[in-house]
Chains A and B, each alone.
Chain A
C-alpha cells in the first residue's frame, strides 16, 4: 500500500514538473515576442531611439564655439497608470547625449544628481580628511541646458471588446539662462487589445 502511494506521488510530481512553464531568456536583440498592452522595454527603446535622433538632427546640442554644453536632467513626470522608473527612458537618452560628444551631463543637480557630490563637500571641515584632497568651493559647473518631460497615457474604449491605449512620450530641451526652448518632440506609441488586458502594473 505504502509503495503504491509513494509511486503515485512520484508520478504526480513528475507530471506536474512536465507541465510547468519553462523560463526562457528574452532575445533582446531580435525579440519576436507579442506586443503587450503595458509599456515594455521595446517601447522605451523605440521612444529613446526616436527622441535621440530627433534631438541630434535638430542641432540643438551643437555649441557655437565648438565646446560642449552642460546638461542637467530635470523632472520627467510619469502620468500613466503604470509604475515607471523614468530612468528607463532617460538613461538611454543621457548615454547617447554623452556619447555624441556634443554635451556632458551633470550629476550635481537635477533628477540625475549624485548625493555623494554634496556629501563629499562636507568633508572640508572634517579633521579626518586631508583638506587639500577635498573638493574646493565654487568648483561645480552649473548646467546650461535642462531636459524635462512627461510620459502620459490615454485609454479609449475602441469597441465592446477592444480598448485602445495611447502612450505619449514628450521631452523638451531648454536653455537655463534665457529660458528659451531649443528642442522638443513627442513620440506616440499606440496599442489596441482586449478589454481584459490590463495596462497598469
Chain B
C-alpha cells in the first residue's frame, strides 16, 4: 500500500538534492508535489521525474523569505492539486564564521532562510491545512543544530533555532490536526548532483568541519566521532527520503514537535 496516496505536498527548497531524491520516493508513494525554489536552475535536477510525471509534479519560482511569495505558492498548489496535505521545508543556508569572525550579512541571511523562511511557509500553508483539519509538516534541520559539530556559528545557531521554532509551531497547530516535526541529519552524500552555490553565500576558505580526530577549533577531539555504520560515513539520500516519507505519512500520526536524528550514531557520542 502506498503511504502517500492522493496526498499533495509542497516542497520549499524543492530544487535541493535532498528534495529531488525525496521527490522520487513521493512519486513512488503516490503523492502530487509542487516544487518551489528561488531559481529555475534548481529544478533541472528533477527533470527526469518531471518528464515521467508531468501531471503530478509542478514547479514555481518563489522565495521563502518573502511572505507574499509563499502565499502565492500555496495558492498555486491548491489551484492545481485541489488541496495541500504536506509541507516539506528544505531551504537552508550555511553562512560562515565563528563568534569573532561572523559577518553580519551572513548571520542575517542564515536566520532569514533557516528560521523566518520556515515560519513564512508554515503561516502560508496553515489556512489550507486548517480547512481540512489535517497536515504534516517536515522541517529539514541538521545535527549542526543539535550538537557541537564545529560548523559555522550561522548554521549552528539558525538550525538550533529552527528546531525550537518547529516545537513552538507544533504546539500551536496541534489543535487543527497538524503535526510538525524536524529532522537532523549529519553529512549527506549529494555527489549525484552538481553543486549549486547557495544564493548570497560566500565561498569558504576551509571546510566547516575538520575530519574526526584532526583537531581544529577547540583542540583535538572537539569534533571526534563518526558514523558507526562501516560503509556509510555520510548518508545516502534515499535514507533521508525514507525518514521524510515517514514524517509526512499517516504512519507518524502520533508524532509532533519532535526532531528525528539521522547520523549513523554520531549524536550519541560525546
Answer yes or no: are A and B bound together in one complex: no
